Chain A
Amino acid sequence: MITSLTDKLNGKVVREKTIELLGIGKKFPLRNKLIKPEIGEDFWALKDISLDIYKGELIGIIGRNGAGKTTLLNIITGIISPTEGKVVTRGRVLGLFNLGVGFQDELSGRENIFLNGAILGASKEELERKLRSIIDFSELGDFIDMPLGTYSQGMRLRLGFAIIANLNFDILVMDEVLAVGDALFQSKCFERLMDFRRQGKTLVITTQSMELIERLCERVVLLDHGNIIFEGNPLEAISQYRRILNTEAFFVGPTKKKLIEQTKKWADDISSWGNKLGTKEVVIDSVEFINKLGYKTKCINTGEPLKVRVNFTVRNDVKEPHFGVAIFRSDGVYCYGPNTQFDGYHIPKLPQGKGFFVLNFPRVLLACGEYRVSIAIWDKNETLAFDYHNGYYQLEVKGSLNHNNELLNIPYYIKNRNYLFFQKKVKNLPTKMMLEKIKDNLVNDRVGFKSLELVNRVGEKKEVFFTNEYVKCIIEFNNFNKEDNLYLWLGIYRDDGIYCQGINMPSLERNSYTIVFPRLPLLPGRYEISLGIWDSLKKEFIMFLKSIYPFRMVFEHDDHGTVYLEHSWNFKIR
């Protein structure tokens, strides 16, 4: 105790050792050694491992398959004993090599709680006391009395983790069981793991996910061929590990950054909308949508400004966070998802306390409709969110009626138009139903469609454009006369069939039409243009050409979604 006293005097934090490994070695005899001892050599799975693990620490163990990770965890748990060396553990050790050890399909969930709990070393009293919270945590409800055989894999995992999450232990050892279940369940698990750490429990994990290691661990041990190669800083350990993998041609390093050709175009899973995920080291307190007048609202007009203000509380200091806001249409189409990392902000740290960030869109180029907004405070690699409100907020965009289920409202103008098109109210434009019904191309010889081209500012015909580039669309006909009831319709589609925007213009006294997009804000991906001539009296197309002009968009920045919305960030951390 003298040393600890002087340490205290020197201002060092004295930490309690919970696991001490002293020169651990583990030898496995080769097969048949018992009968024919002369065959082969013994295999040392671990050699001379010395390691101290402290209370409240989350330590990661990485290494290739067969490096000895599981053997080491087995020894810490006490499932196998070392051939040489000494293990000292203080407190109750819970080893988790599989969720739901000994689960029986024939028994009900409730019976399995007692069985699995007993196998993990819990007493009857403890299990009876915790039964309620285990069932609640598993969210199984009435299913708890159904036989386990009727459960889905996800339900089994939920039950398995619910038991662990509610048992008493001081040291938890987990072998690759982290990467299970859906996002919601995972988030709940990690939230609980963070709770354990806050409670001062010791956690030892192995995983092949370097993102998780980097995100969670304070200290990492790299094992190879049964030896500790490195111990310490996670980033250093990971880069050493990558080096090992590289030298033995397991791992192909990251490729050079080039132009982005595709972005995320859909929400991952709209059924999980409305959930709050995350480890809750940072908690989102409130989210406000603010309109052009500075009032809180849930509804804005298309093309108008929008501010998203998010207030949060930091419960524990976190490193390198970034903020993200994502807008989806209510059917899951990804509209836009900017975050501070894509935009080049670097936030080294969020200190404990309160803060906020504001995302400012000067023009919301979304067509009118119902939208969902996700708000997230992510860690560096987006491995595990600190807090993530997935599709939690509803936003309505209003404007001229959106009959056709368009997604966007990109500004454009029709060059040299003879009269003010927008002053005339157009009736009976092609409806969504009409557009979906029409499958085949409809050629009209009388009109005589000649060509459709997309050209850039200098007039070159192109099939690839940069996001936000000036784009001109030139349509030519042989013999298209002005008729009051005829409209030219141009539809921009994503290659997965999502209708981005439709442009209608009345027929004019000429054969050439030009539509100009001063900035075409479509994000990387493949798009198509369809063209039609609409008879608003008969309510049908007299000409329809589907996907006549496929084109691609590229961008030098990472982004998510379909349309780039100009924006700026503003944040205050403490």
Chain B
Amino acid sequence: MKGIGNNWHLIYQLVVKELKVRYMRSSLGFLWVFISPFLIVMVFYLVFFRILRINIEGYPFFLYLMTGIFPWNFFQCSLISSTTSLWDNRNLIKEAKLPQYVVPLSVIVNNLIIFLPSLFITIILSSILLNGLSLSILFLPFILFIHFLIALGLSLILSLLYLKYRDTKYILEVLLSFIFYLTPVFYPLSLVKDAFPLWLFRIYYLNPFVGVLNLYRYTLLKGFYISITRADKLFSLVIIPLIFTISILFLGIYYYRKNKDKINDYLAY
């Protein structure tokens, strides 16, 4: 991935294009970046809080949902749209000499930009409802970066796999909904700990997104640290996602390097 500096302009142009194309023609325009996540949160709120009556100790359920659903949405949308990105942009790749990785990368940057406004609103809401923020908010860029790298590493692998096996997309969709339920997006971690025997909980805990989501909450929700340490140590909350990130990123780069010369061959037929 040498020379990424020379490609910033290209990535910038691709991201700007995508954002403009996505929001320019709708009458509410960029407001959709705020509206659509809130509509999702409303649905979850109705189903899980009002109907299924899941309760989170110490936090407004609405806020708890927001801190889970927004990051998850970013992740899910990034993966789904980046998986097909090389194929969708085949005209571009076949007709111009550009480093192909910029295509999935720009998709993820694009999703990140859409994610940021809702994150910003979450921060404001959290500081109002919980009477201020904890100092751990300073870790937010770090966790965002980790999350971004996971998405990037996975998207490199998935978008290449998709060129070879069109089944990738369907498998990914199933897997994502599976992981969604295995990640504490709308339920507290303590609930799982109470229900599972310890060995099963350890396995459950290996899911890096458990750590990622809880780190988001740790930075966004004041006093969350105390409730999280009831379930497990903060250390394992950090170390599992970190190891996962590094390994997935290197795997992604390795896989991309190995296959980048063949991308056009796969697109050729």
Contact = CB atoms under 8 A, between A and B. Distances in A.
A115 B17 contact: yes
A74 B264 contact: yes
B15 to A, nearest CB: 11
Nearest to B10: A118
B264 A111 contact: no
B178 to A, nearest CB: 25
A111 B12 CA distance: 12
B9 A118 contact: yes
B13 A114 contact: yes
Contacts of B261: 80-81
Contacts of A106: 20-21, 24-25
Contacts of B57: none
A118 B102 CA distance: 12
B164 interface: yes
A121 B92 contact: no
Interface string A95-122: 1011001101011000100110011110
A455 to B, nearest CB: 66
Nearest to B25: A106
Which of A78, A95, A102 has the most chain B CB atoms inside 10 A of its CB?
A102
B27 interface: no
A198 interface: no
B24 A78 contact: no
A227 B201 CA distance: 64
Interface string A1-37: 0000000000000000000000000001101001100
Contacts of B97: 77-79, 93, 95, 121
Nearest to B22: A106
Contacts of A102: 91-92, 96
B17 A101 contact: no
A368 B6 CA distance: 66
Given A106-B24, A118-B9, A124-B9, A29 B265 contact: yes
Contacts of B194: none
B95 A101 contact: yes
B94 interface: yes
Interface string B253-267: 000000001001100
B198 interface: no
Nearest to A80: B264
A123 interface: yes
Contacts of A74: 264
A101 B96 CA distance: 7
B1 interface: no
A251 B94 CA distance: 31
Which of B16, B95, B261 has the most chain A CB atoms inside 10 A of its CB?
B95
Contacts of B17: 104, 107, 111, 115
A571 to B, nearest CB: 46
Contacts of B9: 118, 123-124
B269 A31 contact: yes
A123 B21 contact: no
Contact of A119 (B6, B25, B98): B98
Contacts of B14: 115, 118
A107 B20 contact: yes
A98 B90 CA distance: 13
A90 to B, nearest CB: 16
A343 to B, nearest CB: 46
A118 B6 contact: no
Given A101-B95, A118-B13, A119-B98, A80 B265 contact: yes
Q: Binding site of B, secondary structure by majority: helix, strand, loop or mixed?
A: helix
B268 interface: yes
A80 B265 CA distance: 7
B164 A120 contact: no
A121 B269 CA distance: 25
Contacts of B20: 104, 106-107, 111
B96 A119 contact: yes
B111 to A, nearest CB: 19
Nearest to B269: A31
A97 B25 CA distance: 30
A107 to B, nearest CB: 6
Given A107-B17, A111-B20, A119 B265 contact: no
A114 B24 CA distance: 18
A115 B13 contact: yes
Nearest to B13: A118
A383 B111 CA distance: 51
Contacts of B12: 118
Contacts of A78: 97
Contacts of B24: 106
A535 to B, nearest CB: 69
Nearest to B8: A124
Contact of B94 (A34, A79, A81, A115): A79
Contacts of A81: 261
Interface string B84-109: 00000001111111100000000000
B96 A95 contact: yes
Interface in B1-43: 6, 9-10, 12-14, 16-17, 20-21, 24-25
Contacts of A98: 91, 95
Contacts of A95: 95-97
Contacts of B94: 79, 97
Contacts of A111: 16-17, 20
Interface in B126-174: 164-165
Interface in A71-100: 74, 77-81, 93, 95, 97-98
Nearest 6 interchain pairs by C-beta: A118-B13, A81-B261, A80-B264, A97-B95, A118-B10, A124-B9
Given A79-B97, A107-B17, A124-B9, 18 more contacts: A28-B265, A28-B269, A29-B265, A35-B165, A78-B97, A79-B93, A79-B95, A80-B265, A95-B96, A95-B97, A98-B91, A98-B95, A101-B92, A102-B92, A104-B21, A118-B12, A119-B98, A120-B96
21 contacts: A34-B165, A74-B264, A78-B97, A79-B264, A80-B265, A81-B261, A93-B97, A95-B96, A95-B97, A97-B96, A101-B91, A101-B92, A101-B96, A104-B17, A106-B21, A107-B17, A107-B20, A115-B17, A119-B13, A119-B98, A121-B10
